[in-house]
Amino acid sequence: MHSPPTHKAGNLLDLVILRNCSSSNPTVTPLHQSDHHFISFSLPLTPLPPSPPSTPTVMVRRNLRSLSPSSLASSVTASLPTLESFSNLPTDSASSTLSSSLSSALDSLCPLVSRQARSSPPSPWMSDPLRTNRASLRAAERKWRKSMAQSDLSAYQSMLATFSTAITSAKINYYQTKIHKSASNPHQLFSIFSSLLSTPSPPQSSLAADDFAVFFDEKIADIRSSFTSTTTLPHSPSSVPSPCFSTFSPLTDSDVSQLLLSHRPTTCALDPIPSSLLQTITPDILPYVTSLVNSSLSSGCFPSSFKLAHVTPLLKKPTLDPSVIQNYRPVSLLPFLSKTIE
């Protein structure tokens, strides 16, 4: 910006440097107390567009704490047909009947509700006594701000120091216990240290679900095409093996119960109810699950609904570019009963 001399000796010593904008009406005013002059000018500032109002994040969830497992078990068994009728159903029909009974019972007793999500998850080391102390601390702060008395300020500062010490101690004890329990699990230890180091989450990707579906389908096609073609042996209809296993020994209720209760209760979006709830009501629906498992194994027919998987694309490494689809690998989550039969 061109301006008159900015020093009383007639020199141009003070500069105004601008970038990507222009100025107008520069003036230089002598000051009695300084050798330098006062510089003023105008800048054309464009007002920023108003930011859109933030929409609160809505979370859809079930209040499973209010659900009685005995009520759920009674509702499921009431909606199922008799065990004799259930055993005569084809494998696909039996699996659909059991899944629909489980999901409908859960929807009727514990429906999905919408609520505003928390801005940040609650701290895992916050116990009920600490929450009570925090409420008392906030009450003391409100009392001091209302009265502005020195005695109320001293009481508030004392409670604040005590609460801060208790929070620090609870946080230390929480992580010490967590690390001690994971001493023999390197993977879990790595996750704990990663959370403590506050590793930044990868940026959001603009890739759509269809992009991943096409990419993974093409990848499977490429793998299939890489195999050398083999000569197909001719076979007559008489040589086609029967899908039935004549020497199959059916499982007992105790066998299936051991399978259900010994597995880790992992749940995916395709499960009709959470796996932990399914394990809880296992004694009530065990004959139906046993019948379904035996029907699948004896007929050689795996239920079609259990062949579906919930596929989640994950970055192979956190440092890779999330916009490149080749940097992802698919992780398939199977229904709990599907893994049980497998």
Highest mean pLDDT among 113-117, 286-290, 317-321: 286-290
Domain layout of the chain by residue ranges: 1-44, 128-196, 202-221+245-342
CA distance 139 to 159: 11
Residue 67, pLDDT above cutoff 80: yes
- Per residue in 14-59, pLDDT (tens digit) is 877 777 777 777 888 888 778 888 888 888 777 878 877 766 667 7
What is the 3-state secondary structure of 180-249? Answer: HHCCCCHHHHHHHHHHHCCCCCCCCCCCCHHHHHHHHHHHHHHHHHHCCCCCCCCCCHHHCCCCCCCCCC
Residue 27 CB coordination number (10 Å):
12
This prediction has a pTM of: 0.59
Rg (CA), the chain: 34
Residue 237, pLDDT above cutoff 60: no
